[in-house]
Amino acid sequence: MARIMAQYDEEIMTIEITDEHRSILKTLLYYQIFRFPLRLDELHRFSSYGYNGRGSVDESVDQLVEWGLVRRHEEWVFLGETKDIKERCNAERLAEKVMPRALRRSRFIARFPFVRGVALSGTLSKGIFDKGDDVDFFVITARDRLWICRTLLMTFKKAFLLNSKRTFCINYFITEDNLVIPNQNRFTAAEIAWLKPTVNAQLFSDFFASNNWTRLCLPNWRPVNVNEASDLPTKRSFAEWIFSGPLGARIDDRCREAIVARNRRKYKELNSSQFNNALRASSKVSKHHPRSLEEKILQQFSDKVLAFEKDHNVDLGL
């Protein structure tokens, strides 16, 4: 426990910063990167401290408000400007309009060969959407056929959607026999926790169970809305029969090799470590994040924590 002295209205107040307070502050600092104020229930779900219910969070928030370290407006808790609340509410209304089309598109994706599960990711999975945002999808494929599946989906996007990412952006694929996501950190845990499964509830229940390491980062989080996912189409396509057996395995390897070679030419400014992390390409994983968003967000978070510590003379730790 750390003690700091603060002066308010010419009175000296002793502030005792506990782990509960640190977790709230770090959670708010993380989401401030996205100008994303949190509701109290979200703050509870996405904090890194195992609180004894939401009432415990409420009490800690009130203390931080009293000390002038955070702001609260009705159900909202935040560090930024009150206009961020209005912006998020506007983004939520736009997300409601976009969601029906996104759900239809996810069911359409599920009809492609070797697709076994679909979830919304990115901003829409968080219930917000702004002009210029993409509709992002996370796809689980059949084992040993990820790259055929990816190639078919990307070919469709280029041929029929003119390569538009607005309503058809799939940047993460994994196979059904490889459900554990690597890079176990705050960013990855948050992205997993915000996923909104749309097709194949059982598979995503297995996915969340396989990634129970997220509970180390988010002990209060539990999967929600999994059972709202629609069933996977039972009738599999003729293409799955064509690409079965050893021939399909060889074609899958060739698809992966061709895409990796293309990415190496296109993103030659990335060094080997950056390339392998941002454009992961194994037989069981395809990750396409060429802007290295994860790395940048974690660095911004570290910078925000250090700046907050300096400005308020507190020790938050990382």
**Looking at the domain assignment, is residue 256 inside a domain?**
yes
Model confidence, pTM: 0.91
- Residues 246, 180 within the same domain: yes
Q: How many domains does the chain have?
A: 2
Residue 196, in any domain of the structure: yes
In a shared domain, residues 209 and 241: yes
Q: Could you tell me if 177 and 242 lie in one domain?
A: yes
φ, ψ (nearest 5 deg) of residue 263: -65, -35
307 and 202 in a common domain: no
> Is residue 145 located within the same domain as residue 175?
yes
**Residue 72, phi then psi, degrees to nearest 5:** -140, 135
Q: Is residue 121 within 8 Å of residue 193, measured between CB atoms?
A: no
pLDDT tens string 194-220: 999 999 999 999 999 999 999 999 999
Is residue 226, in this structure, part of any structural domain at all?
A: yes
Residues 304, 187 within the same domain: no
- For 94, counting Cβ atoms within 10 Å of its Cβ (0-12 exposed, 13-18 middle, 19+ buried), the class is middle
pLDDT at 9 over 70: no
**25: containing domain:** 2-81+298-312
Q: How confident is the model at residue 1 (pLDDT cuts 50, 70, 90)?
A: very low
Which residues, at least 6 apart from 155, have a Cβ–Cβ distance to it below 8 Å?
none
In-domain check, residue 91 = no
Q: Where residue 2 falls among pLDDT bands split at 50, 70, 90?
A: low
Q: What is the CA radius of gyration of the chain?
A: 22
Question: How far is it, in rounded angstroms, from Cα 74 to Cα 35?
Answer: 18
> What is the per-residue pLDDT for 235?
72
CATH number at residue 67: 1.10.10.10
| pLDDT surpassing 60 at residue 295 | yes
pLDDT, residue 239, reads 84
What is the pLDDT, as a whole number, of residue 14? Answer: 59
Is 87 inside a domain boundary? Answer: no
Place of tokens 């924590």: 305
pLDDT (tens digit, 9 = 90+) per residue, 81-114?
A: 899 999 999 999 999 999 999 999 999 999 999 9
The percentage of residues in the chain with a pLDDT greater than 70, rounded to a whole number, is 94
